[in-house]
Amino acid sequence: MIAREPTLARLATAEQLLLEPFGLTTAHLHQALAEIRSHGVDDADLYFQATRNEGWSLEEGIVKTGSFHIEQGVGVRAVSGEKTAFAYSDDLSWESLLDAARTVRSISGQGQAKKVKVKASRVAKSRSLYADVDPIASMDSTTKVALLEKVERLAKAKDPRVAQVMAGLAAEHDVVLVARADGTLAADVRPLIRLSVTVIAEQNGRREMGNSGGGGRFGLAYFDDAMVQSYVDEAVEQALTNLESRPAPAGEMVVVLGSGWPGILLHEAVGHGLEGDFNRKGSSAFAGRIGQRVAAKGVTVLDDGTIADRRGSLNIDDEGHVSQRNVLIEDGILRGYIQDAMNARLMGVKPTGNGRRESYAHTPMPRMTNTYMLGGDKDPDEIVASIKKGLYATNFGGGQVDITSGKFVFSASQAFWVENGKIQYPVKGATLVGNGPDALTRVSMIGNDMRLDTGVGTCGKEGQSVPVGVGQPTLRIEALTVGGTA
């Protein structure tokens, strides 16, 4: 048996699922796009999607909820200058598609429609970063329930102070088909899984929480015994550590950020400010600064959608462009922004494979994929030992960022007070306050331990959520304001 090339195989899968059952062909897609182009728009696309989601959750020793959801439809978009007209429907008939195309084309200032040539099909380039697997079907329901029960059993056995365990298992199978005005066709089949573990520990009437989990673009077999145990160990250890925590100090001080998930601060405080739409409009603190120094030497920040099996990776973005490895800041110098098609066209640059949308019912915009800082040459222990008095933050909860000013506020879910290079005790209630571009200039030591998060990130922007990844090495920042409880 001769295997089909992966890009063509994904296109065939998308056509079989999204077109054929509704009597549609690629010729219909090109005809609908020709209807839109007949009014002289700058760009147009069709985005077909079929998504199946499944979720299970355990609490108080039992699997309390299980859910399954199917959604499919098409988004139809026309772009004229900075204006976008958008229509979407869960009806995939030719009549509905044609009606949507004729509706959105009215955004053009051109009155009389003109006849345009239907473009020939051209298959877009794509990558093969993850297996074409249906994670929902990769494990039966009994085994899924047993997996969650195992999480609780392992956590309770870890320490008698573990009072409560909550666990969640999610799986998604997403098939998309993109048809662009230039005749390009692109498709992707995207698996996605996530296991989350939350532990509450109790001691002498005090209760504290720990969290862990991970996932990526795999089947559910990824969650083998060793992986599940590592999530449980991390969550329990964090909860028990927090039981010993003291009120965090306040004031301006040296802060060391741990590797991996603390890269969420980089994502929020810097990454969003490097998205093309904010910079085109001049509302970002990084606007107009290409080629300028925006960070300390040694600081190199990338957005990379090409890492195999990662939660934020994509074979193609949601406009049909191949994902890329984009260097945003190189050795402290700003090199570029992440772009979708519209903002790239208006800024006179090429798309970077970052046009993303939550679903067919949403318009695309520039969004991050996996955003991280490259490692340096310092041993992490050396960085912690360099602290005379300061904070070592190893895990983060929520945060807020003002894109225009770059100011951020983040809460540390696990942090330690350090004096004379020695960790003294864990602290609770530490909040980091700073300015993203300014904080990058204060990076004085970069660890050699760069790692990505375990696969738990979800990014929100303008009401849309998409899966992302973050990462960084251990970093020493010379001065950040810590809002504490002491």
| CATH for 66 | 3.30.2290.10
Residue 24 is predicted with a pLDDT of 98
Q: Regarding predicted confidence, which is higher, 398 or 62?
A: 62
* Stretch 263-291: mean pLDDT: 93
| Most confident residue range from 108-117, 260-269, 308-317 | 308-317
Which amino acid does the sequence have at 59? E
Checking if the pLDDT of 486 tops 70, the result is no
Instruction: Examine the domain organization and report whether 479 and 391 are in the same domain.
Output: yes
432 within 8 A of 265, measured Cβ to Cβ: yes
Residue 31 in this model has a pLDDT that exceeds 90: yes
Q: Are residues 229 and 300 in the same domain?
A: no
User: Does the pLDDT at position 111 exceed 70?
Assistant: no
- Residue 351, domain extent: 246-483
Q: Are residues 52 and 197 in the same domain?
A: yes
Q: Which of 259, 256, 239 is nearest to 416 (CA)?
A: 256
Q: How far apart are CA 171 and CA 218, in angstroms?
A: 9
What's the pLDDT score for residue 110?
61
Q: What whole-number percentage of the chain has pLDDT above 90?
A: 89
pLDDT of residue 1: 46
99 to 83, 95, 254, 362: CA distances (angstroms)? 20, 6, 60, 18
Render pLDDT for 2-29 as a digit per residue (tens, 0 to 9): 557 899 999 999 999 999 999 999 999 9
Measured between alpha carbons, how far is 326 from 350 in angstroms, rounded to an integer?
A: 12
Q: Are residues 115 and 250 in the same domain?
A: no
Residues 339 and 198 grouped into a single domain: no
| Number of domains into which the chain is organized | 2
Query: 3-class DSSP state for residue 404?
Result: coil
Based on the fold, state whether residues 236 and 94 are members of the same structural domain. Answer: yes
% of the chain at pLDDT higher than 70: 98
Give pLDDT, residue 76.
98
Span of 78-82, 265-269, 275-279 with lowest mean pLDDT: 265-269
Region 430-452 average pLDDT = 94
> Helix, strand or coil for residue 160?
coil
Q: Can you give the pLDDT at residue 484?
A: 72
Same domain flag for 234 and 250: no
> Which of 184, 211, 244 is the C-terminal boundary of a domain?
244
Burial group, residue 70, by CB count within 10 angstroms (0-12, 13-18, 19+): exposed
Let me know whether 53 and 68 are in one domain: yes
Question: Do 162 and 15 belong together in one domain?
Answer: yes
Whether residues 14 and 159 fall in one domain: yes
Amino acid 437: pLDDT: 87
- Identify the residue whose tokens are 């999607």: 49
Tokens of 87: 């229509």
Where a domain ends, among 214, 244, 274? 244
Look up residue 177 and give its DSSP letter.
Answer: E
Give me the pLDDT at residue 174, please: 98
**pLDDT at res. 121:** 81
DSSP strand pairing (251-257 vs 389-401): parallel
Please say which residue of 213, 244, 275 terminates a domain.
244
Pair 254, 228 in one domain: no
Tell me what the pLDDT averaged over the chain comes to.
Answer: 94
Indicate whether 234 and 252 sit together in one domain.
no
The pLDDT, as a whole number, for residue 3 is 56
